[in-house]
C-alpha cells in the first residue's frame, strides 16, 4: 500500500524536529570532548616564581597565529624580603615596609631626572611602583615615567608577557590578573616573567593558568565535521 505524500511530509518534519532536538545536547558534549581530546582546548597551570625576571623568563610554548590565549593569574609575592608584597598586576598586597613607603597609593612619588615627573603623588590604583627609588632603577618592562596615571607604565611585581624571544622594553605587555591575548600572525612562543629590576631578593610565586581558544576557522571546521558525523550516524541507524 502506498503511503500518502502528505504523511511522508509530516514524517520528514517530525524526523527533522527530533533530529534538531537531539543535536544540541550531543553536539555540545561531543564538540567539547573532541576539542579537549585534540588539545585544542585545555587549561594549563604554571607557577611563576617572583625571582623570574627577564633573564629567566618562562617559555609557555608555541601558539598558533590568530589563536586567542585566555589567561588568569592569582597569588601574591614579595619583591624585597617581606617589605614589598604585590599582586599579579603589581598593586600592593600588604602595607609596604621602609624604605618602600612610596609604593602606597597616595604617598609621595619621587621624580626621576630626565623623565616625565607626573604630579609627585602615587596614583597607581592599589599602590605599587614602576621605579625603585632605593636605587635599582626602572623595571625592565613598561614605559619609563613617574606619571603614575600613564597606562603604559607597568608596575614592579606585575606578571608581564612577550611573544619576542629576545625582547626589548617595548616588547613586553602587562598580563596582570589576566585577560585574552591574541597570538601574532605566523605564531610565536609566549614568554612570561615578573617585572622587577633586581630579582634575587624576591620570594613566593604566582599561579598562572591559560587556555588556548583555537582560530574561529578551526572551530568551524570541527563543528562542521561533527554536524556531518551526526547526520551520518542519524541516517545510518
Which residues bind to Ca ion, rule: CB under 5 A? 79, 196, 198, 201-202
The nearest distance, CB 223 to Ca ion, in angstroms, is 48
Query: Strand pairing partners for 85?
Result: 78
Shortest Cβ 198–Ca ion spacing (Å):
5
User: Which residue number, 201 or 215, has a Cβ lying nearer to Ca ion?
Assistant: 201
CB of 218 to Ca ion, least distance (A): 41
φ, ψ for residue 15, nearest 5 deg: -65, -40
Tell me how far, at minimum, the Cβ of 133 lies from Ca ion, in Å: 13
Report the candidate in 58, 47, 77 with the shortest Cα–Cα distance to residue 158: 77
Instruction: Quote the radius of gyration of the chain (alpha carbons, Å).
Output: 26
| 83 vs 109 by CB, closer to Ca ion | 83
Closer of 40 and 80 to Ca ion (Cβ): 80
Q: Who contacts 105 (Cβ-Cβ below 8 Å, separation ≥6)?
A: 92, 122, 123, 124, 125, 126, 127
**Kind of pairing, strands 159-162 and 173-174?**
antiparallel
Of 181 and 198, CB closest to Ca ion: 198
Cα angle, residue 177 at apex, residues 115 and 28 outer, rounded to 5°: 145
Amino acid at each position: 500500500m502506498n503511503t500518502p505524500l502528505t504523511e511522508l511530509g509530516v514524517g520528514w518534519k517530525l524526523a527533522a524536529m527530533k533530529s534538531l532536538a537531539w543535536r544540541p545536547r550531543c553536539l555540545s558534549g561531543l564538540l567539547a570532548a573532541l576539542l579537549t581530546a585534540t588539545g585544542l582546548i585545555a587549561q594549563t597551570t604554571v607557577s611563576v616564581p617572583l625571582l623570574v625576571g627577564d633573564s629567566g623568563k618562562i617559555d609557555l610554548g608555541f601558539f598558533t597565529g590568530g589563536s586567542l590565549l585566555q589567561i588568569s593569574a592569582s597569588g601574591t609575592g614579595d619583591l624585597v624580603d617581606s617589605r614589598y608584597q604585590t599582586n599579579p598586576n603589581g598593586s600592593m598586597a600588604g602595607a609596604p615596609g621602609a624604605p618602600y613607603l612610596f609604593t602606597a597609593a597616595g604617598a609621595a612619588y619621587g621624580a626621576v631626572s630626565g623623565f616625565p615627573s607626573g604630579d609627585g603623588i602615587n596614583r597607581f590604583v592599589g599602590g605599587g611602583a614602576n621605579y625603585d627609588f632605593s636605587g635599582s632603577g626602572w623595571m625592565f618592562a613598561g614605559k619609563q615615567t613617574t606619571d603614575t596615571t600613564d597606562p603604559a607604565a607597568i608596575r614592579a611585581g606585575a606578571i608581564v608577557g612577550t611573544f619576542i624571544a629576545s625582547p626589548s622594553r617595548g616588547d613586553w605587555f602587562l598580563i596582570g590578573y589576566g585577560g585574552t591575548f591574541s597570538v601574532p600572525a605566523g605564531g610565536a612562543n609566549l614568554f612570561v616573567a615578573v617585572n622587577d629590576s633586581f630579582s634575587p631578593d624576591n620570594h613566593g610565586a604566582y599561579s598562572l593558568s591559560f587556555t588556548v581558544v583555537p582560530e574561529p576557522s578551526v572551530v568551524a571546521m570541527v563543528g562542521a565535521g561533527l554536524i556531518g558525523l551526526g547526520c551520518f550516524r542519524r541516517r545510518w541507524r
